Amino acid sequence: MPDGRGPSTTALRAGAVRSWALRTGRRGAAMLRRTPFPRPTARGWTVLGSGIALVGGGLVATTSIAVSAGLLLLVLLVLGIVMALVVAAPLRATRSTARAVVQVGEVHRERITLRGTSLPIGPRTTLLVREQLEDALASVSDAETYALVGPNEPPAVLDVEALAMHRGRTLVGPVTIRVEDPFGLLRIDRPVVPAEELVIVPASTTLGAIDTGALAGAVSADEGRVGQGGSADDSELRPYRQGDPIRRVHWAQSARRGELHVRQTTQAQPPEAVIAIDVRRETYQAIGRDDLAELSDLGGDAAFEHAVVVAASVARALSARTSRVVLVSDHTPVAGRHAGDVGSLTDVLVGLADVRVRSDARPVTEVLPEVHGRDVHGMTAVVTGRCTAEQAAELVAATSGSSRGILATIVPPDPLVRGILDRAGWRTLVVPVPGAQAQGSTR
């Protein structure tokens, strides 16, 4: 007997049942909201039309058999809707992948795991699981499979492998499932895993010479070995440049000389590297049929794509010998993403995945001073399609405050261009397209 000091056992049980019913109801409503309503198949439209026709004809002709047959067909359709929703609503899936950045020519691998209802009772059915891939990826394995789901069934697994074909950003997914009722009257196409972004970075080309003379000569320059501190015994003074840290200002010498000077250490430290890629369309349109027959396209897109591969190859080679690698181009998203102290190889490769050739882009000589003003004083590697004598002179003038560098081109430059760069301490690296008519050389 209850003593009146608390709720009875019956009330507690009723409250527990009510709470369970509310939780289950909210969960079921949420699953139904994200589940599309079943769509009739061709057979389903036929059954629906036949049922309506039989009911209507039976009512007009007062034929109970026809009305009963039509109602039976409509009930069958309703049962199909209920069964399709019961199977599709509880389904959940996950996508697991090793990385979100792959290289052109590599295989992107992921695993889709699909789980059905957790209730001990329920329908068992076979459904179609499909992963959607965009044109930048070529499927190596089947991106779809039939999976059996239901009570006490293990999770279904779909392993997807796709070859990265083109650099850039692409979407993987969404993962969709197709559920049909046992009668084949209705179908539900429901996304169970949202689409995710995949970044495809450029591949590499052979740069045998850059590991010897070109790279060693540029990186070993004393001007590129800039430290962040040091005493007065191991440092030299230079005029203040926009972007220099205030902590490196030598106030006594600045007052004596009448202008700001900063300490620049010369102790042996890994230099920084700037990878500057020319994105002007006119540079690559100038490559004629006599130079590279394979790249004589009207828009210069094929030549530019090879230049991006060269830039990625140079970045990979320099990252092993420098403390920081920064990508520079007249491309707003890349410039914004790689400003400041960001300088990893991954950042450069992701930036090269985004960069595009443009008709209104500025020359590299106008972009480089903005970067060197942010305290990036290591070596400079400029990647372009072709370099004229005027452009070489402007390039040397624009980088006079930095260390020696590398000019990487697709077409071998004229002897005059080589002379201008040699006198400035630059190295020339020619990386032609494999199989092209013109054979490059490196100095």
- Each residue of 387-429: pLDDT tens digit? 888 888 888 877 655 456 788 888 888 888 888 888 877 888 8
Closest CA to 337 of 352, 322, 324, 323: 352
Q: With pLDDT > 90 as the criterion, what percentage of the chain qualifies?
A: 9
Of 181 and 335, the one with more pLDDT: 181
Give the separation between CA 364 and CA 382, rounded to whole angstroms. Answer: 8
294 pLDDT band, cuts 50/70/90, is: low
> Is a pLDDT exceeding 70 seen at residue 346?
yes
Query: Which of these ranges, 162-171, 264-273, 306-315, has the smallest mean pLDDT?
Result: 264-273
Q: Is the pLDDT of residue 136 over 50?
A: yes
pLDDT digits 0-9 by tens, 352-395: 999 988 888 888 877 776 665 444 456 788 888 888 888 888 88
pLDDT at 223: 39
Q: Quick one: average pLDDT of 277-301?
A: 68
Closest CA to 356 of 301, 282, 294: 301
Q: Quick check: 325 pLDDT over 60?
A: yes
* Residue 35 pLDDT > 70: no
pLDDT over threshold 50, residue 335: no
Please name the fold of domain 92-201: Immunoglobulin-like (2.60.40)
Q: Which of 55-59, 66-70, 435-439 has the lowest mean pLDDT?
A: 435-439
Strand partners, 393: none
CA distance 122 to 403: 72
Question: 208-261, pLDDT tens digit by residue?
Answer: 655 444 555 455 443 333 333 334 333 577 787 765 667 678 888 888 888 888
Domain spans in the chain, listed from the N-terminal domain onward: 9-88, 92-201, 209-226+269-430
Task: Report whether 170 contacts 102 (CB < 8 A).
Answer: no
Average pLDDT over residues 329-349: 59
pLDDT reported for residue 201: 93
The token pair at 104 is 């052109």
Q: Where are the beta strands (DSSP E) in 142-234?
A: 144-149, 156-164, 168-180, 186-193, 196-201
pLDDT of 111 reads: 92
pLDDT at 265 over 60: no
Using the predicted structure, report yes or no on whether residue 4 has a pLDDT greater than 90.
no
Residue at token pair 């960069």: 355
Kindly report, residue by residue over 165-221, the tens digit of the pLDDT: 999 999 998 999 888 888 888 888 888 889 999 999 998 887 765 544 455 545 544
164: exposed, middle or buried (Cβ count in 10 Å: 0-12, 13-18, 19+): buried
Q: What integer pLDDT is reported at residue 371 of this predicted model?
A: 60
Residue pLDDT, tens place only, 94-112: 899 878 889 999 999 999 9
Across the range 23-36, mean pLDDT stands at 63
CATH fold of 209-226+269-430 reads Rossmann fold (3.40.50)
- pLDDT category, 34, cuts 50, 70, 90? low
The closest alpha carbon to 167, from 200, 138, 137, belongs to: 200
